[in-house]
Every structure is written in C-alpha cells, then in structure tokens.
Amino acid sequence: MARKYELKRRAARQEETRQRIVEATIALHQTVGGAGATISAIAARAGVERPTVYRHFPDERALITACTGHYLALNPPPDPVAWQGITVPAERLRVALAAVYAFHRRTAQMMVHAVQDVETMPTLREVLAPYFAYWEMVRETLLVGWPCEGDRGRWVSAVIGHALDFRTWRALVGEQGLEDADVVELMGALACAAASATGGR
C-alpha cells in the first residue's frame, strides 16, 4: 500500500514538473519569442535543471506540441457553429469578425511573437498546421452566400482572408488607433464593396 501511494506521489510530482515546464515555455514565447525560449531559459524559469526539461520533452516538437495544445485549450478560437446559422453573408461576417477580434485581443501577446517565429521555426510551423487550417475553414464558412466566381469571387475571398488575419487587426488597432468595432465595420464594408464591384477584366 505504501509503495502504491509513493508511486502516485511521484507521478503527481512529475506531472507538476511537466506543467511548470510547459507554462514556463509559454511565458517565454509570449515575452521574448521562440528565439529567446532556450532550454536554459525554460529550465531557469521553471525552476528545474536542463536534463529535467529533456527528460519530459526529448525534442523541440514534443515541447512545442505540448505548449501549443495547452495554450489553445486555455484560449480556444471562436467556434464557427455560432454564426453558421446567419444567412445574410454581410451580417454573418460582422458577427464572426467581432468574435475573431476578441480572440485576437485576448491572444495578442502570444501572436505578436508567433507570427515572427513561424518564419524561422519550421517545427512550430508544422505543429501549427491545424491552426492555419482552422482559419482557412473559417474563411470558407464565411464565403457562403457571397459571389464566388470571377473577379468579385476572388476579391471577396481575399478581403475575408485579410480581415481574419491577426496582422490586419493589429495594424488597424495598434497602429491606426481603431477600435475592434471600427475594424468590423470597415472589413464588412470592404467585403460588400468587393462583392458589388465591376471587374476590370
């Protein structure tokens, strides 16, 4: 009985240590980015030795996968089901963008570094492939009911993709001083303009 209890305590301690490493890695990615989140920095922040980090996460992929999963579980992106029932495309877009921009605001500290890190960290880009696929699925959901052929179809698709992008939101809010609601209306108006424009060729 005593041995079983000791094994349970040991497993609990190991899980606690693993969680500290994950949280330390997330904190570093939010503050100094992937380049600064070295194993030494992670170990120091988690209060463990470097070999302990490697014992729990033998390679970069294992660590990034665990951290990404934990972060997205705490900060889930919007569920498209919430607006799929809206039949008017422009209204559906505005409702969706309001939820998307709330998500961008909530995760901005992480995403500022992530959009840079994916360019230099191939493993992060691979682990985030389902996340990128999610945004493409959102775009396809929001395209329903808009013009889908010719120039107008391409333009509307491009506008919606641009509107969903974190970098678009950050530029308009952080650099141009707009509020989230302003960006929702601006992107909605741009999509409507693209849908009604006459192609030049």
CB 151 within 8 A of CB 67: no
Q: Report the helix count and the strand count for the chain, using DSSP H and E.
A: 12, 0
Torsion of CA 183, 156, 97, 73, to 10 degrees: -130
Q: With bands split at pLDDT 50, 70 and 90, how would you rate the model's confidence at 13?
A: confident
Domain boundaries, the chain: 2-73, 77-196
Q: From CA 82, how far away is CA 86, in angstroms rounded?
A: 9
Q: Which fold has domain 2-73?
A: Tetracycline Repressor; domain 2 (1.10.357)
Which regions of 93-194 does DSSP assign to beta strands (E)?
Answer: none
Res 22: pLDDT: 96
Picking from 97, 72, 80, 194, the residue whose alpha carbon sits closest to that of residue 140 is 80
- Give tens-digit pLDDT for 40-95: 999 999 999 999 999 999 999 999 999 999 999 999 999 999 898 999 999 999 99
Q: From CA 66, how far away is CA 49, in angstroms rounded?
A: 19
Q: From CA 189, how far away is CA 26, in angstroms rounded?
A: 37
Residues in the chain: 201
Provide the percentage of residues in the chain whose pLDDT is more than 70. 94
Q: From CA 27, how far away is CA 30, in angstroms rounded?
A: 5
